[in-house]
A and B are shown apart, each in its own frame.
With several copies, the nearest count.
Chain A
Amino acid sequence: MHQNRTKYPQKKAQMYQQLQELPSKYKVIALVRMEKVRSSQLLPLRKKFKGEVEIVSIKDKVAQKSLSTLKIPGIEKLAANLVGQCVLMFTNMSPIKLNILLGKNKIMMAARGGDKASIDVVIKAGNTGITPGPILTDFKEAGVSTKIDQGTVWITKDSIAAKKGDTISGKLATLLSKLDVKAVEAGIVLNSALEDKVIYNQEELTVDVEQYRAAFAKAHQEALSLSIAIGYVTKENVNMILAKAAQQARSLAIEAGFLTDDTKDATIQRAHGQAKSLSGKLKGYSPQ
Chain B
Amino acid sequence: MEYVYAALLLHKQKKEINEANIANVVKASGAEVNEAQVKALVAALADVNIEEAIKAAPVAVAAPAAPSG
Interface positions of A (Cβ within 8 A of B): 94, 96-97, 99-101, 103-104, 204, 207, 209-210, 212-285, 287-288
Q: Give the residue name and chain of the B residue nearest to A204 (CB).
A: B36
Q: Report the separation of the CA atoms of residues A282 and B4 in the bound assembly, to the nearest whole angstrom.
A: 10
Q: Are A209 and B47 in contact (CB under 8 A)?
A: yes
Contacts of B56 in A (CB 8 A): 213, 217, 225, 228-229, 239, 243, 251, 254-255, 265, 269, 277
A170 CB to closest chain B CB (Å) equals 36
Q: Which of A217, A235, A264 contacts B57 (CB 8 A)?
A: A217
Q: In the complex, what distance in Å separates the CA atom of A253 from the CA atom of B2?
A: 11
Chain A residues with CB below 8 A from B63, complex form: 225, 264-266
Which of B8, B43, B60 is A220 in contact with, Cβ under 8 Å?
B8
Smallest CB-CB separation from A206: which chain B residue?
A: B40
**A251 vs B50: C-alpha distance in the bound complex, in angstroms?**
9
Task: Contact check, A214 vs B69: say whether CB atoms are below 8 A apart.
Answer: yes
Q: Which of A209, A250, A251, A288 contacts B44 (CB 8 A)?
A: A209
**Contacting pair A227 B4 (CB below 8 A):** yes
Give the residue of A96, A219, A247, A252 whose beta carbon is less than 8 angstroms from that of B48: A252
Contact in complex: B8, A230 (CB < 8 Å): no
Docked-complex contact B54 and A277, CB < 8 angstroms: yes
Among B38-69, those with CB < 8 Å from A are 39-48, 50, 52-61, 63-66, 68-69
- Chain A nearest CB, measured from B44 CB (Å): 4
Which residues of chain A are within 8 angstroms of B19 by Cβ–Cβ distance?
94
**CB proximity of B1 to chain A, nearest CB, Å:** 3
Taking a contact as CB atoms under 8 Å apart, the answer to whether B58 and A258 are in contact is no
Give the dominant DSSP class at B's interface. Answer: helix
Pairwise interchain contact A219-B37, C-beta atoms closer than 8 A: no
The contact sample of 17 A-B pairs, CB cut-off 8 A, is A97-B42, A100-B46, A209-B44, A220-B57, A224-B58, A229-B48, A232-B4, A233-B41, A240-B61, A242-B53, A246-B8, A254-B59, A255-B56, A260-B4, A274-B1, A277-B58, A278-B53
Contact of A101 among B1, B8, B46, B50 (CB under 8 A): B46
B residues less than 8 Å from A257 (CB atoms): 1-4, 44
For chain B, the bracket of interface size reads 35 or more
Q: A250-B61, A267-B4 are in contact. Are A285 and B41 (CB under 8 A)?
A: yes
- Once the chains bind, are A97 and B46 in contact (CB under 8 Å)? yes
B23 within 8 A of A: no
A277 to B5, CA, bound (A): 12
**A230–B65 contact, CB under 8 A?**
no
Q: Which residue of A lies closest to B18 (CB)?
A: A94
Cβ-defined partner of A251 (8 Å) among B40, B42, B54, B68: B54
A residues less than 8 Å from B45 (CB atoms): 212, 230, 232-233, 238, 252, 256, 258-259, 264, 282
- Chain B nearest CB, measured from A121 CB (Å): 27
